[in-house]
Amino acid sequence: MKVIFLDIDGVLNYINYFKKIYNIILNYNKYLKDNEYNLIKKLLEIDIDKLYLLKEICDRTNSKVVISSSWRILNFYPLIEDYLIKLSIPVIDITDYIHSKRGIEIKTYLKKHPEITNYIILNDDIFPDFDCELLFHLVHTNFYNEGINEDNVNDAIYKLNIK
Looking at the domain assignment, is residue 71 inside a domain? Answer: yes
Looking at the domain assignment, is residue 30 inside a domain? Answer: no
pLDDT score of 149: 98
Looking at the domain assignment, is residue 27 inside a domain? Answer: no
Q: At what angle do helices 34-44 and 15-29 cross, to 10 degrees?
A: 150
**Segment 143-160 mean pLDDT:** 97
pLDDT score of 40: 79
Q: Report phi then psi at 40, rounded to 5.
A: -60, -40
List the domain range (segments joined by +) for residue 112: 2-14+47-161
Residue 31: pLDDT over 90:
no
Cβ neighbours of residue 62 closer than 8 Å, sequence gap 6 or more: 2
Looking at the domain assignment, is residue 42 inside a domain? Answer: no
pLDDT score of 10: 96
Q: Which tens digit of pLDDT belongs to each residue from 70-124?
A: 999 988 899 899 999 999 999 999 999 998 799 999 999 999 999 999 999 999 9
pLDDT score of 103: 96
* pTM score of the predicted model: 0.93
Residue 36: pLDDT over 80:
no
Q: Specify the higher pLDDT residue, 135 or 37.
A: 135
pLDDT score of 9: 95
Sheet holding 138-140, edge to edge: 91-94, 63-67, 2-6, 118-123, 138-140
Q: Report whether 137 contacts 119 (CB < 8 A).
A: yes
- CA dist., res. 37 & res. 136, Å (int): 39
Domain containing residue 99: CATH number: 3.40.50
Looking at the domain assignment, is residue 20 inside a domain? Answer: no
Residue 163: pLDDT over 80:
no
In this predicted structure, which of 20-29, 91-100, 143-152 has the lowest mean pLDDT? Answer: 20-29
Looking at the domain assignment, is residue 96 inside a domain? Answer: yes
Looking at the domain assignment, is residue 51 inside a domain? Answer: yes
Looking at the domain assignment, is residue 142 inside a domain? Answer: yes
For residue 153, the one-letter residue type is V
Running DSSP on this structure, what letter comes out for residue 139? E
Tally of structural domains, the chain: 1
